[in-house]
Amino acid sequence: MTDSSSLLEACRELRGQIDAALDRYSSYGEAVPANLAAAIRHSLLAPGKRLRPILVLLAAEACGCERRKALPAACAVEMIHTYSLIHDDLPAMDDDDLRRGLPTCHVKFGEATAILAGDALLAQAFEVLAGSELPPAAIAKACGELAAAAGPKELVGGQADDLAQEEKTDGDLNDLQAIHRRKTGAMFRVSLRLGGITAGANEAQLNALQIYGDRLGLAFQIVDDLLDLQGTAEQLGKRTGKDDGRGKLTFPRLLGREESRQRAEGLIDEACAAVAVFETRGELLRDLAQFVLARDH
């Protein structure tokens, strides 16, 4: 394992490259109505952790590709993630007023503009990915996989089940894992796979990356549930304690805090084992997995 300062340094550098690219992609000039552009930039350029785009870049690197080549795919993933956050915060969904330490998009720009900002990012993600300098077959594969991950069988389906779950009082661990494998996990898995596709990875490599993404996504969600109980709004940049207050199905509610943490640790071990095949080139992926477990925001 590299020391944690090397991981932090690498992440700082990657975040800088991702932020600069997102800034370029959302510098629309006069082509986009000013209010819509401001709403998109408010949410997209807000200080998110950029975990998913970092995963795209690190997956590409693990497969021997220059990070720069994977930057459009990384930005496409972050655009879809940001759209999902904007829509999730709307009054009809989670009804939140704080995101990434800032007022949510609809609080600042109104509901209609926030819906349009999300719609715009969802579409632009595919424009950006389709415009990347990859062989046409790789672009088609990447677009297809990203569409599937964001679609009704994965992200949107997981969100629908999560909303439906709020109406119920029952629900077990299988239900909860099924929701999060789609709502949170799909975007993690596809981030890893897009990095691999960019690098021209073979099926075995894509499979290893997918297992890593699956385990990391679930562990990330368990830690998210624990932080919702333990963290502060200042630390997390979003409201905390909401899930518990509404009696929502969460990992700590079903398993208790200690067992939830143990489960997250087991998943991180599995994630790291999956990318052992990349030897030293997978080192940052393994370090990042440990960081997800230890994160406090």
* Binding flag, residue 156, ligand GRG (CB under 6 A): yes
* Binding flag, residue 224, ligand GRG (CB under 6 A): yes
Given the complex with ligand GRG, which of 118 and 196 has the nearer CB atom? 118
Strand partners, 103: 98
* Binding flag, residue 184, ligand GRG (CB under 6 A): yes
Taking the complex as a whole, how short is the minimal distance between the CB of residue 200 and ligand GRG, in angstroms?
A: 28
How many binding residues for ligand GRG (CB under 6 A)? 16
Candidates 112, 127, 30, 47; CA nearest to 82 is 47
Q: Which two tokens stand for residue 40?
A: 């998109």
* Binding flag, residue 240, ligand GRG (CB under 6 A): no
Question: How many other C-beta atoms are found inside a 10 Å radius of the C-beta of residue 211?
Answer: 17
14, 74, 155, 208: residue in contact with ligand GRG (rule CB under 6 A): 155
* Binding flag, residue 67, ligand GRG (CB under 6 A): no
For residue 165, give every residue at least 6 positions away whose Cβ sits within 8 Å of its Cβ, in sequence order, or none.
Answer: 171, 175, 179, 248, 249
Given the complex with ligand GRG, which of 210 and 240 has the nearer CB atom? 240
Burial class (CB in 10 A: 0-12, 13-18, 19+), 203: exposed
Query: Quick one: CA dihedral 194, 195, 196, 199, positive or negative?
Result: positive
Measured distance CA(277)–CA(87) in Å, rounded: 38
Taking the complex as a whole, how short is the minimal distance between the CB of residue 51 and ligand GRG, in angstroms?
A: 5
Measured distance CA(279)–CA(253) in Å, rounded: 37
Measured distance CA(227)–CA(210) in Å, rounded: 25
Residues 83 to 102 in contact with ligand GRG, rule: CB under 6 A: 84-85, 87-88, 100
Taking the complex as a whole, how short is the minimal distance between the CB of residue 280 and ligand GRG, in angstroms?
A: 27
**Minimal CB distance residue for ligand GRG:** 48
* Binding flag, residue 56, ligand GRG (CB under 6 A): no
For ligand GRG, the binding residues (CB under 6 A) are: 48-49, 51, 81, 84-85, 87-88, 100, 155-156, 159, 183-184, 221, 224
